């Protein structure tokens, strides 16, 4: 989760919403009962950079992990995210067959695991995510987001945006 937070911090300074995600594969060695953890991907939100609403950290991380292991089935893999995944990212996690999801802060607006929707409670014909852990480094994840949006609000009050002008809406309405 600390790696996901690192990713989030990097993009937060570039104007992206600071959300990070990583995929870790858990392999059990047959010769010994040891667990080996392999970091397959580490990504951050790139919605603004790519002008792509689907460029969420989780989705980019899932794609990168699948490409790295040349297999879209991310069996025995865990998705770590600094924020509770949205419906799109939860659906993608199911499609990519991840085994578990671990996240930091709840997403009160779009969270699709517990907070807003309970997408993973629905039966899925092909795959079930066996474990969900919430609240890991929750305060650090939430604080990063709070600070980012506080700064954006302060900047926003200084910068005039096209649709913040009420006249734009009147012009559209008159048509």
- DSSP letter, residue 52: -
Asked if the model's pLDDT at residue 166 lies above 60, the reply is no
What residues have CB less than 8 Å from 9, skipping those under 6 apart?
18, 20, 144
pLDDT of residue 64: 99
Asked if the model's pLDDT at residue 173 lies above 60, the reply is no
Q: Where in the sequence numbering do the catalytic residues fall?
A: 58
Tell me which residue of 85, 86, 59 sits closest to 72, measured CA to CA.
Answer: 59
Which homologous superfamily does the CATH classification assign to the domain defined by 1-152?
Answer: Cytidine Deaminase, domain 2 (3.40.140.10)
Sign of CA dihedral 154, 155, 159, 163: negative
Asked if the model's pLDDT at residue 54 lies above 50, the reply is yes
- For the segment 67-76, the average pLDDT, to the nearest whole number, is 97
From 71-75, 130-134, 136-140, 156-160, the region with the lowest mean pLDDT: 156-160
From 70-74, 114-118, 135-139, the region with the lowest mean pLDDT: 114-118
Per cent of the chain over pLDDT 90 is 71
From 3-12, 26-35, 58-67, 128-137, the region with the lowest mean pLDDT: 26-35
Asked if the model's pLDDT at residue 18 lies above 70, the reply is yes
Q: What is the mean pLDDT of the chain?
A: 89
pLDDT of residue 31: 63
Q: Indicate the pLDDT class of residue 159, thresholds 50, 70 and 90.
A: low
Q: What is the CA radius of gyration of the chain?
A: 18
Asked if the model's pLDDT at residue 103 lies above 70, the reply is yes
Report yes or no: 19 and 144 within 8 Å, Cβ to Cβ. no
């Amino acid at each position: 989760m600390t790696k996901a937070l690192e990713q989030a911090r990097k993009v937060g300074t570039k104007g992206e919403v600071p959300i990070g995600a990583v995929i870790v594969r858990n392999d059990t060695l047959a010769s010994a009962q040891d667990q080996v953890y392999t970091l397959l991907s580490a990504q951050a939100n790139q919605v603004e950079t790519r002008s792509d609403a689907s460029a969420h950290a989780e989705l980019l991380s899932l794609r990168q992990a699948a490409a790295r292991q040349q297999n879209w089935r991310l069996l025995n893999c865990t998705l770590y995210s600094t924020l509770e995944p949205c419906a799109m990212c939860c659906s993608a996690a199911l499609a990519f067959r991840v085994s578990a999801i671990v996240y930091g802060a709840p997403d009160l607006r779009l969270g699709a695991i517990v907070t807003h929707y309970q997408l993973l409670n629905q039966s899925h014909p092909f795959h079930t995510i066996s474990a969900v852990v919430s609240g890991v480094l929750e305060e650090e994840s939430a604080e990063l987001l709070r600070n980012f949006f506080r700064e954006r609000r302060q900047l926003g009050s200084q910068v005039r945006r096209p649709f913040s002008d009420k006249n734009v809406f009147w012009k559209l309405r008159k048509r």
